[in-house]
Amino acid sequence: MSFGQLPPEIHSAVSSVSDISSKLSLCLVSKYFYDITLPHLYEVLCLPTRPRFLSLATTFTYKPEFARLVRHLFASDRNSYEFYVSLPDFIVCFPQNDKERTIRRQRIREWLSEREQELAAYRFAIHQVLSLTSPFLKSLTLLHYEHALNILHGLLLLPFPNLVELTIRGDYPPFPPGLYLPALERLHLAAGDTPNPFASLATIADGCPRLTHLRITEPIMCILAGPLLAHTIEIALGYATCNNQILAATKVADKCGREVAVGPPRLPPTLTHLLLQTYAAELNAFGVPYPDHVEMQERLDALQKKSDIFRLLSPLSLAANDYSLPYCFEVAHRHWEDRMEGGDGCWEDCC
């Protein structure tokens, strides 16, 4: 019996385990194989750059039914090869006279306008794609390296009824009070610059009722306010009391933009693993870590000895070959690929 004579169930099974090039080849054989392969072609999507995401948004504009097929989505605004914004020569070359200064200012305004249009197009595309796919997604990895995007707050308010695993990398604000992810079991917050950890943890406890795994990777707060981060985790785990003065200042904006107060930092009762990976210690002119980092590390080490669910992970070495930025693209992509292949990915330290 030839391959073409096998039943559709066999063809579908073969397509589901084939690599992307084989799936594309099957789509070109005939309309029958196109219909068999299409659900598996869109089931797992990796979009490492903005142009790739814009292309997907265009596809969904004309074929919105394809969005129903997506189950696992990896999206990054940049990959390792295009991380830094390339500045035009006229920005770094200083003018010699008034005429050149006038021309330079005009060209800078034009360049900034074009850049903002590109970012606006990406903001619209990612909101469009996630609005269509959010009801069907089981896992989402959203890497946000461009500081000027400011997109994560609105995206978290979309409905994700079936989302089980979520990884966010970027400058996310405090999670909105309306956050509700009923099926979420694993949440990974990487390289975040959240200004209010109290609000974020309180919202997670209310909005993620089935959460079992929480990992926080290299939060910028480790550098700016390490002791406050340690104090936040101590309160969340029940080993410290909340400072009323800090709590009184803990307010976040709701959907209407109004400031609302939140409670002290808490964790869902279902949580079984809390992982924290801090930055490597920065050294002063004398070659010793700064006092704030030492205090944070000591408090976290003591907390790890007392808590059964908390684990402090070793920071990535600044000399490591794969380390260039907080939760860089290479590390994030490697973790995602491992998860898609059935591995532990960023959760390997839970074992």
Classify 310 as helix, strand or coil: strand
Which domain does 19 fall in, by range?
A: 1-41
Predicted confidence band of residue 311 (pLDDT cuts 50, 70, 90): very high
Q: How many domains does the chain divide into?
A: 2
Q: Are residues 124 and 231 in the same domain?
A: yes
Of the listed ranges 32-41, 213-222, 270-279, the one predicted with least confidence? 32-41
Q: Average per-residue pLDDT in the chain?
A: 79
Q: Are residues 92 and 200 in the same domain?
A: yes
The pLDDT of residue 57 is: 94
pLDDT at 321 over 70: no
Query: What are 72-130's pLDDT values in tens digits?
Result: 999 998 876 555 566 677 676 777 777 777 877 888 888 888 888 888 899 899 999 99
Q: Residues 6 or more apart from 25 whose CB is under 8 A from it?
A: none
Q: Judge whether 151 and 169 are in contact, CB under 8 Å.
A: no
Query: What are 229-256's pLDDT values in tens digits?
Result: 888 888 888 887 776 655 545 555 555 6
The pLDDT of residue 228 is: 79
Which tokens in the block code for residue 169?
């990398």
The residue assigned the tokens 């305004």 is 109
DSSP for residue 288: S
Q: Are residues 146 and 178 in the same domain?
A: yes
pLDDT at 302 over 50: yes
Query: What are 119-162's pLDDT values in tens digits?
Result: 889 989 999 999 999 999 999 999 988 776 667 767 888 999 99
Q: Are residues 266 and 150 in the same domain?
A: yes
The pLDDT of residue 204 is: 86
Q: Are residues 173 and 290 in the same domain?
A: yes
Q: Are residues 35 and 93 in the same domain?
A: no
Max mean pLDDT among 8-22, 177-191, 230-244 falls in 177-191
- Kind and range of the H or E run holding 143: strand 139-143
Q: Are residues 1 and 51 in the same domain?
A: no
pLDDT at 258 over 80: no
Query: What is the percent of the chain with per-residue pLDDT over 70, rounded to a whole number?
Result: 72
Within its chain, how far is the Cα of 326 from the centroid?
12
The pLDDT of residue 320 is: 47
The pLDDT of residue 272 is: 94
Predicted confidence band of residue 271 (pLDDT cuts 50, 70, 90): very high
pLDDT at 17 over 60: no
Predicted confidence band of residue 261 (pLDDT cuts 50, 70, 90): low
Q: Give me the helix-helix angle, 50-62 and 98-133, nearest 10°.
A: 50
Q: Are residues 320 and 333 in the same domain?
A: yes
The β-bridge partners of 188 are 167, 215
Give me the sign of the Cα torsion angle 165, 169, 175, 179: negative
SS3 content of the chain, % helix, strand, coil (to 5): 45, 15, 40
Residue type, 3: F
| More confidently predicted of 145 and 274 | 274
Q: Are residues 15 and 150 in the same domain?
A: no
- Once rounded to an integer, what is the mean pLDDT over residues 248-267? 64
Which of 340, 342, 316 is CA-nearest to residue 73?
340
Q: Are residues 80 and 147 in the same domain?
A: yes
Distances (CA, A) of 43 to 32, 70, 164, 201, 253: 18, 4, 15, 31, 35
- Once rounded to an integer, what is the mean pLDDT over residues 188-213? 78
Distances (CA, A) of 87 to 109, 112, 148, 311: 13, 11, 15, 41
DSSP code string of 234-248: HHHTTSS---HHHHH
Q: Are residues 181 and 33 in the same domain?
A: no
Terminus-to-terminus CA distance in the chain, angstroms?
46
The pLDDT of residue 291 is: 79
Q: Are residues 29 and 54 in the same domain?
A: no
Dist CA 60 CA 274 (whole Å): 37
